[in-house]
Amino acid sequence: DAKTTQPNSMESNEEEPVHLPCNHSTISGTDYIHWYRQLPSQGPEYVIHGLTSNVNNRMASLAIAEDRKSSTLILHRATLRDAAVYYCILRVGGSEKLVFGKGTKLTVNP
Amino acid sequence: SAVISQKPSRDICQRGTSLTIQCQVDSQVTMMFWYRQQPGQSLTLIATANQGSEATYESGFVIDKFPISRPNLTFSTLTVSNMSPEDSSIYLCSVDRTGSDYGYTFGSGTRLTVV
């Protein structure tokens, strides 16, 4: 299964931008980059996904490196509700399954 | 995105017994996925369930321990059989709505404690 590497934890201050990095050096051309987050005592929640181009939605932005070996999830203005574990996942092309890594625990300070 | 109802939300069970977890989706989906999340850990995929065929299990998970049913396109069950305390985990189901821009949807999970 395709592997991703994320920092174990990060801290941010409320109302500041947050950049969550992810390395996926073994990515292949058809692998999608997915981001999910899991708030305490809840199931994971979809955040964003992309293939090659940068993506924006109401929750976040996804910046994908030109060689696709890394990506960054950007929360433009962190709130206390954004405190969660963020998972960067490669969905292998042709496969329907998501294989989770360890994720990054984001702490947002007031 | 799809709405998933998962039952029960939590249970405490005696070792050696079995528990069946239900996952109901509000729309038809091709694939349903079952995950386990052990305390303080990430999610581990148990199996993929297609309607009308046997589930596909990931390495380390077997049908005798985690039998899965998928009788139609909106429903699936996962049974945790002959439970031991090591089975204490959160079990989650997930679906992917083909063609959706909302990724995969997860149920809120079943918190299982085996005593």
The H or E element spanning position A48 is strand A45-50
CA angle B93–B41–B115, rounded 5-degree value: 80
Tens-digit pLDDT profile for residues A25-81: 999 888 899 999 999 989 999 999 999 999 999 999 999 999 999 999 999 999 999
Q: What is the pLDDT of residue B30?
A: 87
Q: Which residues of B touch A43 (CB under 8 A)?
A: 92, 94, 106-109
Cα gap A73→A54, rounded to integer Å: 10
Cα gap B57→A77, rounded to integer Å: 40
Cα gap B24→B19, rounded to integer Å: 16
Q: What is the pLDDT of residue B1?
A: 61
Q: What is the pLDDT of residue A1?
A: 61
Q: What are phi and psi of B33, to 5 degrees?
A: -125, 140
Helices (H) and strands (E) in chain A, counts: 0, 9
Q: What is the pLDDT of residue B107?
A: 94
Q: What is the pLDDT of residue A65?
A: 96
Is the CB of A43 less than 8 angstroms away from the CB of B109?
Answer: yes
Q: Calculate how close chain A gets to B20, using CA atoms only, in Å.
A: 19
Q: What is the pLDDT of residue A97?
A: 83
Would you give per-residue pLDDT tens digits along chain B (115 residues)? 678 999 999 999 999 999 999 999 999 988 899 999 999 999 999 999 988 888 999 999 999 999 999 999 999 999 999 999 999 999 999 998 655 566 889 999 999 999 9
As a whole number, mean pLDDT of residues A88-99 equals 84
Q: Which residues of A touch B103 (CB under 8 A)?
A: 34, 36, 46-49
Minimum Cα–Cα distance from A87: chain B residue: B42
Q: What is the pLDDT of residue A2?
A: 61
B95, B4 contact by CB (below 8 A): yes
